[in-house]
Amino acid sequence: MSKRVAILGAGIMGASLALMLARRGLDVFLFDREDSPVGRASRWNEGKIHLGYLYAAAPTTSTAQAMIPGGLAFGRIVSDLIGGDVCGHATREDDIFLVHRHSVVDVEAIRARFDAVDALIRGHAEAGAYLADVSAARSRQLSRAELDEVSGSDDIVAGFEVPERSVDTQWVADRFGDALRAQEGLHLILGTTVRRVTRAECAGAGRWRVIGDPDLDVLFDFVVNALWEGRLEIDATAGLEPEHEWLHRYRLALFARTHAEVKARSALVCVGPFGDLKNYNGRDFYVSWYPTGLVAQGNGVTLESPVPLTAQQERRFVADVIAGLGPLLPATRRVLEAAESIDVRGGFVFASGSGSLADPGASLHRRDRFGVRRMGSYFSVDTGKYSTAPWLAARLAQEISNY
């Protein structure tokens, strides 16, 4: 009889793993409290497929080294899982990284770090597999004229073009939904909130029981906890305690669709004050201004989701994003004023570490400590980033299949 696995959380991590294990012949149960899969952070994020440039404030290149394999493999793995070409739904130009005068890293240090990241990417065997060919990756500092074209603000002291792309996460989420529903050997258990995981009392009939609301009377050989923000709470019920400090941040961002095509270069302000404008296809945009969008944070095991904004608060929020990011990236105003729809959506960013992005010494700048913790046949996954999830899922699928 095939082994039975419970995967908790149908975000990009749980969805990728569920497809991989079902295709290897395991009997897979994928749980989510929402009524449709891939509906939370994995649907409503910027979709940057990280190669490590963003982590210029990390003390070493270890974060870039941790991000690169997942970023390079993302397009290949996801295209295979969903049976569609992700590259056709990625941004078409390299990103622009703008350095604010209050950046926690100076321009020389950023240039040196970007050179080091370029070299790491060029030396990687999968460099040709990224969303664009980065086997000759070289970031480039913008001329004053180029900088003025993107920003023109005295607060922006330098800019770099880096070979990083982003994907349209809503398109990817919809395709994952289709693939999950069509997959044989995969049971989608939606509208079910997981409360606890306990060891089964009678040996031989499966090792774990997942207690949910509504409940399901099934025993599992393996449990994979991929719940993202609620993960540590469920780990504790199974007997797994957190290893180090965690920080939850709830961020709001804007997902805009314009009436007609708007010409605007994808750009972000780093590495201190943080904001970005992402142009997926000329009409679909992501806009975020971190000082306004960060609406809650905490170090506890869980953090309640903030209550949704009223229509009036949403209008105020859009105006605040324009007021904050607009002077640094004038295209922000053009995009949002040309919008036929703007979704204000939020999600948790859940990471090990502490402190604030404005503090150069904060351990939050390091993002190299994600991955899987294992307790026998119970696995707890810290996805790290959207971009690292499918690669991590592939490694975990291999481990579970070999168990």
Ligand X SMILES: Cc1cc2nc3c(=O)[nH]c(=O)nc-3n(C[C@H](O)[C@H](O)[C@H](O)COP(=O)(O)OP(=O)(O)OC[C@H]3O[C@@H](n4cnc5c(N)ncnc54)[C@H](O)[C@@H]3O)c2cc1C
**What does the binding site for ligand X look like in residue numbers (CB under 6 A)?**
9-14, 31-34, 39-42, 45-48, 50, 193-194, 226-228, 230, 251, 253, 347, 349, 383, 385-387, 389
Q: Closest separation between CB of residue 329 and ligand X, Å?
A: 16
Q: Closest separation between CB of residue 238 and ligand X, Å?
A: 13
Cis peptide before 306 (omega within 30 of 0): no
Residue with smaller CB distance to ligand X, 61 or 91: 91
Residue with smaller CB distance to ligand X, 143 or 356: 356
Q: Residue 255: phi, psi to the nearest 5?
A: -120, 105
Residue in the shown chain whose Cβ atom is closest to ligand X: 11
Q: Closest separation between CB of residue 252 and ligand X, Å?
A: 7
Cis peptide before 214 (omega within 30 of 0): yes
Residue with smaller CB distance to ligand X, 272 or 347: 347
Residue with smaller CB distance to ligand X, 89 or 385: 385
Spacing of C-alpha 269 from chain mean position:
18
Residue 100 burial class via C-beta count within 10 angstroms: exposed 0-12, middle 13-18, buried 19 and up = buried
Residue with smaller CB distance to ligand X, 101 or 395: 395
Q: Closest separation between CB of residue 119 and ligand X, Å?
A: 22
> Measured on CA atoms in the order 130, 134, 139, 142, is the torsion positive or negative?
negative
Residue with smaller CB distance to ligand X, 153 or 163: 163
The two beta strands, 378-382 and 222-225, are parallel
Q: Closest separation between CB of residue 136 and ligand X, Å?
A: 24
Half-sphere exposure of 59 (CA within 13 A, CB side): 5
End-to-end, the C-alpha distance of the chain in Å comes to 15
Q: Closest separation between CB of residue 344 and ligand X, Å?
A: 11
Closest Cα partner for 156 from 360, 326, 335, 290? Answer: 326
